[in-house]
Each structure stands twice: as C-alpha cells, then as structure tokens.
A and B are shown apart, each in its own frame.
Chain A
C-alpha cells in the first residue's frame, strides 16, 4: 500500500476513535509504571526497527534459536524453612518426585550474617527460611544428596562467600571435585544497598568479596553461576519497570567493570553472570522489559566491553512472579494474578521461573498452595500452546514499540548514573533509593485516588472474607538451633579454629582473594557470625544515607 493511502486509513481510524464514546472511570491508561500507551499501534511504530532473529545477536528475541521447542524453562520453586534437618527431608521428597535442582531460602539471621544465638536473632530463627550457622548445619542440609549430580541455587548476598564455602566444603567431604559442583549464588550486593537493604559492609569491601568469589569460581568451580544480578528486589521495593531494568543492568555493568579492574578477561567470567527479574502484573510492559534487557546486555557487552564469546553476550534470567502484586484480601485471586505474570515471563523468554503461591502474602506456602503454583507453570507449558512458537509477540507493533521505549529510557538512566560517578557513588548519594521511594509513593497515591485498581483492595471488596488455611512454623526449634551451635563451639578444634580466623583477618587487611581463607575457616567450623565479625573488624559496617 502506498504511504499516502496508509496515512489516509490511519487518519480515518483516528476520526472514528475521536468520535467514539470512551470510558470515563478515571483509570490510568498508561502502563503501571507510567509509560503512556496509545490506543492503537500500527506499522508506523516499527519505523527503524529491523528484523532480528532468536539465537542471534543482540538476542532480543531469545538466546536460543529453538526457543522452548529446544528446552522448556526450568520450573524452580524456592523453598526452605525451620531447621536444616527438616529442610533436608523436604529436599529428599522433592528429588524423589523428579525435581533436579534445589533452591535454598535462608532465614533472616543467616541472611544478615549473624548466628542463631545472637540476641537480635530472637524470634527470627528458622522463620522465613532455614537457619545455617556452621558447616555442621550445611552437612545436615545436604545429607544424602549427591552434590555432583544436582544443581543448587542459594539466595544469599552479604555472607554469600561464606555459604558458598560451606557448600564447597560439603562437596569436598562427599568426595565431589569442585569442577563437578554446579549451582547459582545470588551474591548481588549492589541491589542490597539499592533496595533490599541486607547489606553489612560498606560497598567497596563488599564488591571485593563479590569479585573474589567470581574470580575463584571462574578458576576453581567453572560450573557455578557466581552472581545472579537481581532486579526482583528493586521492583518489589516499588520501582517502575524501567527502573528495574536500568538499575539491574547498571549493577551488572558495575560487576563487569570491577572484574576487569581486577585483571580478569571479560569472556572468562561473564558467561557465569545471570539475571533475576520480577514478572509483574502489567502484561505487555513486562514482556517488553525482558526483551529489552537481552538486547541492552548484548549490545553493551560487545560494544563497550569487547566481549567475543557469544555466551558472554547472552542474558540468561530467572523470573519470579511479583510478590508485591499479591493481596491478603481474597487471596485465591492471587492464583489468577500469578498465572498472568508467569505467562508474561514465558512470552518474554524466561530461562527459569518461580511462581508464587497464593498464600505467600500471609505466610510460607502450604503444600497445597505450593502445588497449585507449580501446576500453573505446567498449564502454561503444556496446555496453552504458547511454548510452540519462539518469541510469538515479535513483530507486534505495540510490543516492539514498547521494547524500544524501555531500552531508550534505560539508556537515559545509564547516562544519569554515569554523571553521578557510577553505581556506588549514586548509592552513597541515595539516588536509586530516592527514585524508588518516589515511584512507590506515586503508585500508592494512584491507588488511593482509584486511578489504579487492585481487585479486592480498592474495588470489588467483599465483606466476609473466608480465612485461608496457612502454614504455622513451630517456634520451639529456635532453642534446638541455639543448642546445636553451642555443641559446635564446644567440640571443634579450638586451635585450628582460632588460626583460621587470624589468617582470614590478616588476609582481609591485605589484597589476597579471600575465598581460600573463608573456606579454611568454614572447614574449621567457624560459624557464619564469627567469620562475618572477623571481616567486620576490618571492613566496618555500612549505614545508609537517610532517604525517605
């Protein structure tokens, strides 16, 4: 069709659209992040977007030529609660039922690098995950599980190096060579300062620990994914989709910079960096976000960092449906939300997926709700047919246009971050924290004004809510864990223990890679808290800039 004729048709539609009656409910028509959305997209919106193919640079349409026809995404559900022994029983159950990978959730004291008997651990031991204090607990957690044959994902950040060392020490005891050990460590400290706030040391020594573990894994544990660069927590803290995209990739670039500064070759470690994104409720915006992420990463790695290995250019990611979109009101409706979010992640080409259980806003999931969550993924994979076509929304006027918009807005953020001197100076000035807090407050105001609707919360409420059966954690195990740690302290080789920590402290003051020292301390049954305290004595602790 000639351009003139096309313009004429679009003008005709425009007239009809203007004349038509429209809803006047006051509900926003922009995306949930505030990106304006047109009522119609046409071929005009594809101007300047050339055709790309999956499995080819810059990987917008996916990293595999075969999409999900080659291999479905990994259905990886995150779990962990109470004591190592109880979680171990759950793992054996999952493995007997065909699961090939494990995903460990730690409790708050473990995440914050303190032992179960620390005064501020009271009331939190084994609550939101499993309590791990020393190698003894890690041995129990993986008892009877062959670490050479399964892959394990560990969600931990500030003390990540210590938990990795504990895992490796268990492998060692099982006689499994490090080269055969595989798994993923979250180990993404930058987003802790930005969003989740589980930081301990100041940014610089924290970055040193991250680079130490990347370097060590690249050399000794080649099948280990050393960092899972996470936007999930940034989004859950209230950011927009663009902020999640931009801040997460900026963090990724900051790790690459730090490793290059250490003297590592870019292709020696980037294939082992992976990503973790939120799959939120605004359907098309999320799909566009995942596509844009792959494209930005590939472009920057090739053009800015000169990476040559295609695996360095491919952004692999895990997605989790948005915990923050779940409601305590009419919680069954969360199954529908989660299904739609999971569908967006799949249409966006996720490599692995966790679907939230409907009761996660109330407590840890029950067996029943956890099963429904997994079944949701199976329905998408096996019933809907969406996995049969690679990037089925590729070429959609709207999705392509939105993908480009998100990419441009992310680039604008990279520029601002550069102007502030990079990610760490921007953190120290509270830049990210302020951006996120502003977005969160903005969204909350839109909710209060009913410019956004959350079903069951600010509209469509019911008076009589039926209570959902929730999982209760037995609190008495806190005492058991405190006793266990006392036993470890009493029975370990005192001299070996003290020597290992002294050497660690000395190394921390110097420039050596700390992983071997941490591994030795772990082998000597130093507790997580003791190792962290040793490092704190050298590195100090971080106090955040007050940003409200």
Chain B
C-alpha cells in the first residue's frame, strides 16, 4: 500500500521516472470502473462519495477515492478535509482514499489523475471514484478521465444556473440531486430538465436521480443509472472510442507539459531568446523558435 501511495506522489510531482512504469503497465484494466463525481461545495458531494464507497463495499468491491481540491493560488498550500466524511471506512483494507491538490498547473490534474487511476487499477481496485469541486476547468478535464461522470446538485443553492453558464452541466452523464428531502427539490429538477430540453438531441439522455446521501437513500437507483450508462458506452462502441480519445488527450497534454517545462527553463537561461522577446515585444517568435530548434530536446531526459 505504501508503494502505491508513493507512486501516486511521483505522478503528482510529474516525475519523469514514472514513464517506464506506465509503459509497462499500459492502460487501466477494462474491468476497473471509473466514476467521476463533481459538484459545488455544499451539495454533499463528499457524503455521496462516502455513500458510494459503502455501496461498493456492500457489493464486495474494493474502491479507491481520489479527492481533488484546489490549492491556494497565493501560497500553494491547501487543507484537504475530504477524509472526514469517509471516516467510517478507515482501516478497511479494501478502501483507499487519497487527497490531491489541483496545484494550479494547466492540464496537470488530468494527467496526474489519469496516471493515478492506472496505478489504482493495476493495484487491483475494482472501482475508482474521482471527486472534484465543480467550479472550474479541472472538472472538465477530470470528466474526460472517468467512464461516467456524476454531477451533484442540491436544492436551494442556486448553483444550477451558475453551472450552466460555466458549461459544466454538459459534462454530466448522470445528474444527482442530493439532499432531495429538502425544500426546492422539484425546482432543481425542473431547472435541469429545461436545460436538457434546450440542448441538442443526444444518443444518451442523462437521467436525473434523487438521493439523500446522508441516509444512503437513492444510491441503488443511482448505481443502476451508472450501470445503464456503462452498458450504453459499451453497446454504442463509445467505450472503445473513448479509450483512444483519452490516449490522444494524454499525448497532447504530455506534449504541453514537457514543452512548457523545458521552454520555461530555456527562456530563463538563453540570452538570445530573452533578447528576442525584448525586441518583438510579443511571445510568438520566441515560442516558434523554441519548438523548431529545440524539438527533441524538449522531451525529458533528452538534453
């Protein structure tokens, strides 16, 4: 277990030494089901994650949770509190919980979480839950990692409209209206329905499931919806297509990550490049020349 935890740290740190490991491991085992869980603070997302863990354990499946939270943009520090809600699973050897900082670097979270999923799959976990705060770019990226993405909303928060504006509604494969015993539930469902009706007709119409996660209510129905979505992915050939899409995303993200790191170093060290920036008063020329001239040397371990 400690080796797994350490490997995830290497992945988070974007340590180049993990490349060999992933070339050996390959993709996540197909039987590992990857669930994305996103929603604004206050929707009871962590409580839902806890209920999902309980559900999987009751069905004899091992489960890992990766809880992503933002770091402070000023200090880089963070406080992760997601474990609090999942305390009852502490000491269960078939449950693994890991907090991950979004760290603020573009694409980094998606890459790190993808690789963490591979590690967890290779370690033997049947299910992986990726939990993110639904307020920004990172959830869109993480959604691309999951097979099925659950978007959690709660009555009375007025978060639906905000999410529509942010384009986050579109990542949902299943809508979960949690705290469904509270006033305003019907209104939240109506909001989602009307939003779905406004959009184009899609082959998969995201269902809306009501839960009261704190009491474990609605979890059976929710998992049934997840299973239906998975069946749809398989029968429509999307599962296979998504697999390749994911690899493409990852390759593109890697190009970005590698070249960004190397370019930053070059821009610090190379006086010609600095001079060029001064002269151009614009970044294009310098960027172009880095890609053209440095090419292969942008790859880690190649300089």
Chains A and B touch each other in the complex, with CB atoms below 8 Å apart: yes
In the assembled complex, the CB of B82 is this many whole angstroms from the nearest CB of chain A, namely 7
Return chain A residues, CB-CB under 8 Å to B42: 429
In the assembled complex, the CB of B217 is this many whole angstroms from the nearest CB of chain A, namely 12
**Which positions in B face A, CB cutoff 8 Å?**
42, 46-47, 50, 79, 81-82, 84-85, 87-88, 156, 214-215
Return chain B residues, CB-CB under 8 Å to A546: 46, 81-82, 84-85
Closest 9 CB pairs of A and B: A546-B81, A546-B84, A548-B79, A543-B85, A548-B81, A429-B42, A543-B87, A546-B85, A543-B84
* 17 further A-B pairs in the complex, CB-CB below 8 A; given A543-B88, A546-B84: A202-B214, A421-B156, A429-B42, A540-B215, A543-B47, A543-B50, A543-B84, A543-B85, A543-B87, A544-B84, A546-B46, A546-B81, A546-B82, A546-B85, A547-B81, A548-B79, A548-B81
Taken together as a complex, chains A and B put the C-alpha atoms of A57 and B232 apart, in Å, by: 70
Return chain B residues, CB-CB under 8 Å to A547: 81
Return chain A residues, CB-CB under 8 Å to B46: 546
Taken together as a complex, chains A and B put the C-alpha atoms of A547 and B82 apart, in Å, by: 10
In the assembled complex, the CB of B187 is this many whole angstroms from the nearest CB of chain A, namely 15
In the assembled complex, the CB of A205 is this many whole angstroms from the nearest CB of chain B, namely 12
Return chain A residues, CB-CB under 8 Å to B81: 546-548
Return chain A residues, CB-CB under 8 Å to B214: 202
In the assembled complex, the CB of B184 is this many whole angstroms from the nearest CB of chain A, namely 10
**Which positions in A face B, CB cutoff 8 Å?**
202, 421, 429, 540, 543-544, 546-548
Return chain B residues, CB-CB under 8 Å to A544: 84
Task: Across the interface, name the chain B residue whose C-beta is closest to A543.
Answer: B85
In the assembled complex, the CB of B70 is this many whole angstroms from the nearest CB of chain A, namely 14
Return chain B residues, CB-CB under 8 Å to A543: 47, 50, 84-85, 87-88
Taken together as a complex, chains A and B put the C-alpha atoms of A353 and B156 apart, in Å, by: 43
Task: Across the interface, name the chain A residue whose C-beta is closest to B85.
Answer: A543
Taken together as a complex, chains A and B put the C-alpha atoms of A544 and B84 apart, in Å, by: 8
Return chain B residues, CB-CB under 8 Å to A540: 215
In the assembled complex, the CB of A524 is this many whole angstroms from the nearest CB of chain B, namely 30
Q: Which residue of B82, B88, B214 has the most chain A CB atoms within 10 A of its CB atom?
A: B214
Taken together as a complex, chains A and B put the C-alpha atoms of A547 and B84 apart, in Å, by: 10
Return chain B residues, CB-CB under 8 Å to A421: 156
Taken together as a complex, chains A and B put the C-alpha atoms of A452 and B46 apart, in Å, by: 38
Taken together as a complex, chains A and B put the C-alpha atoms of A544 and B44 apart, in Å, by: 11
In the assembled complex, the CB of B32 is this many whole angstroms from the nearest CB of chain A, namely 28
In the assembled complex, the CB of B88 is this many whole angstroms from the nearest CB of chain A, namely 8
Taken together as a complex, chains A and B put the C-alpha atoms of A504 and B156 apart, in Å, by: 36
Taken together as a complex, chains A and B put the C-alpha atoms of A55 and B122 apart, in Å, by: 75
Return chain A residues, CB-CB under 8 Å to B215: 540
Return chain A residues, CB-CB under 8 Å to B47: 543
Task: Across the interface, name the chain A residue whose C-beta is closest to B79.
Answer: A548
Task: Across the interface, name the chain A residue whose C-beta is closest to B80.
Answer: A546
In the assembled complex, the CB of A340 is this many whole angstroms from the nearest CB of chain B, namely 36
In the assembled complex, the CB of A437 is this many whole angstroms from the nearest CB of chain B, namely 11
In the assembled complex, the CB of B276 is this many whole angstroms from the nearest CB of chain A, namely 46
* 6 A-B contact pairs sorted by A residue (CB < 8 Å): A202-B214, A543-B87, A546-B46, A546-B81, A546-B85, A548-B79
Taken together as a complex, chains A and B put the C-alpha atoms of A540 and B88 apart, in Å, by: 12
In the assembled complex, the CB of B213 is this many whole angstroms from the nearest CB of chain A, namely 11
In the assembled complex, the CB of B137 is this many whole angstroms from the nearest CB of chain A, namely 23
Task: Across the interface, name the chain B residue whose C-beta is closest to A420.
Answer: B156
Task: Across the interface, name the chain A residue whose C-beta is closest to B84.
Answer: A546
Task: Across the interface, name the chain A residue whose C-beta is closest to B47.
Answer: A543
Taken together as a complex, chains A and B put the C-alpha atoms of A544 and B42 apart, in Å, by: 12
In the assembled complex, the CB of B301 is this many whole angstroms from the nearest CB of chain A, namely 40
In the assembled complex, the CB of A112 is this many whole angstroms from the nearest CB of chain B, namely 15
Taken together as a complex, chains A and B put the C-alpha atoms of A421 and B155 apart, in Å, by: 12
Taken together as a complex, chains A and B put the C-alpha atoms of A429 and B79 apart, in Å, by: 18
Taken together as a complex, chains A and B put the C-alpha atoms of A176 and B136 apart, in Å, by: 66
Task: Across the interface, name the chain A residue whose C-beta is closest to B88.
Answer: A543
Return chain B residues, CB-CB under 8 Å to A429: 42
In the assembled complex, the CB of A90 is this many whole angstroms from the nearest CB of chain B, namely 37
Taken together as a complex, chains A and B put the C-alpha atoms of A42 and B81 apart, in Å, by: 50
Task: Across the interface, name the chain B residue whose C-beta is closest to A430.
Answer: B42
Return chain A residues, CB-CB under 8 Å to B84: 543-544, 546
Taken together as a complex, chains A and B put the C-alpha atoms of A548 and B78 apart, in Å, by: 11
Taken together as a complex, chains A and B put the C-alpha atoms of A331 and B88 apart, in Å, by: 41
Taken together as a complex, chains A and B put the C-alpha atoms of A57 and B192 apart, in Å, by: 52
Taken together as a complex, chains A and B put the C-alpha atoms of A148 and B83 apart, in Å, by: 49
Task: Across the interface, name the chain B residue whose C-beta is closest to A202.
Answer: B214
Task: Across the interface, name the chain A residue whose C-beta is closest to B214.
Answer: A202
Taken together as a complex, chains A and B put the C-alpha atoms of A131 and B87 apart, in Å, by: 27
Return chain A residues, CB-CB under 8 Å to B156: 421
Return chain A residues, CB-CB under 8 Å to B87: 543
Taken together as a complex, chains A and B put the C-alpha atoms of A544 and B85 apart, in Å, by: 7
In the assembled complex, the CB of A109 is this many whole angstroms from the nearest CB of chain B, namely 19
